[in-house]
Chain A
Amino acid sequence: MAYTVRRPNLTFWEKLYLPNIVAGLAITFNHLKKMLKGETKVVMQYPEEKWDAQLPEYYRGAPTLVTDEHGRERCVSCQLCEFICPPRAIKITPGSLPTDSKFAKVEKAPQAFDIDMSRCIYCGLCEEVCPEQAIYLRKDYAVTGESRADMVHHKAKLYELGGSMPGLVHKWNPDK
């Protein structure tokens, strides 16, 4: 059913419009004055001041690879992240562990692991899909480079950014 919206009854001064314009000008001028006096502090001078310490635990920065507490790489190059990656930023060349390693017959490891950061959308699906908890989105967000090639994070860079992540992998945890 249609209903009528009651228009507010304006006083003469409100109808005149100009006093309200002056009031509005006063508001904006106060903002200007407070900014000039330095009383308003809302802007962060980015490269000098950073918010990194306050980033939440769940912050989704650049995806990285992590090692476990023994320094072994967790990634077994199952390529699930490569398949789920919506912008197809991940490219994995599967490989095996060196033959002298005692896990050589047990696990595999990526020969090459490239994440193209110019394509990555920081969605976190790779972290979610990884059965080995090998790939994590860490808190690096300022990823820059001077060429497209610079923007590709290779395996060494990914491990450098990721560091180690001790603790049980979920698949070995009976509670999970």
Chain B
Amino acid sequence: MSLHPTSEGTVARVVLITLSLAFLGFFVLLPLLAVFSEALAQGAGPFLDALHTPDAFAAIRLTLIIAAIAVPLNMVFGVAASWAITKFQFPGKALLITLIDLPFSVSPVVSGLIFVLLFGANGLFGAWLAEHDLKIIFAVPGIVLATVFITFPFVARELIPLMLEQGKDDEEAAISLGASGWQTFWHVTLPNIRWGLLYGVLLCNARAMGEFGAVSVVSGHIRGETNTMPLHVEILYNEYDFVGAFAVASLLALLALVTLVAKTVLEWRFGLHAGARH
């Protein structure tokens, strides 16, 4: 028996820490290193050349456009949903939260399929869209829709626990002092939730830029037109252009690393609140 009856002995600690670090190193760190190593396998020249192509540029541009549309939409939705859910009492609230979370439990491929069934050539609105010369599937609107669906819960999910914890005393005080609803929102609520909002937006953005399965189903993989960065990675990889595939992949990995650093910094700033969130 150890001298500290509510903790483990030094040997046990070292073994457990080593085991978990080895597991993380093997399963998480090694794949990350592989991305950069493979991208630079033939030196910096081929790496930069692989990025300096019209197709890569088009893919980066499209990914930025998709995120620029999908993220603000979900941000507005997340704030509205959190306001309704945390500031008011009404029956059916738990069901509403479950429904908002629903996209998280749907396979990415199915998330793409549903929009094909709605707007594809043989879909519910397919004939009508064709008649009016509108294209959603195998075009940018379809990619936006699938991305909005996939990232739907991110902002709301971060804001709801935060705003529940903050309560509504500040807002009620502002209203009783004569502030209008919008004034209360802009000057009281928004400053209170800004870091949590940024946190949700960061995670939402990372997923929006990196989504593969759902986008793959609706995109049609038209080079230079409907190819996002993750889809471009797949195309290059399937053409055995490994340096090219890993070069584009390394940009996405960098985005993931930046997201993680920003997320960790925000968690430090939250400090006191982090425990109550889940």
User: Do they bind each other?
Assistant: no
Interface, chain A (partner B; CB < 8 A) = none
Interface, chain B (partner A; CB < 8 A) = none
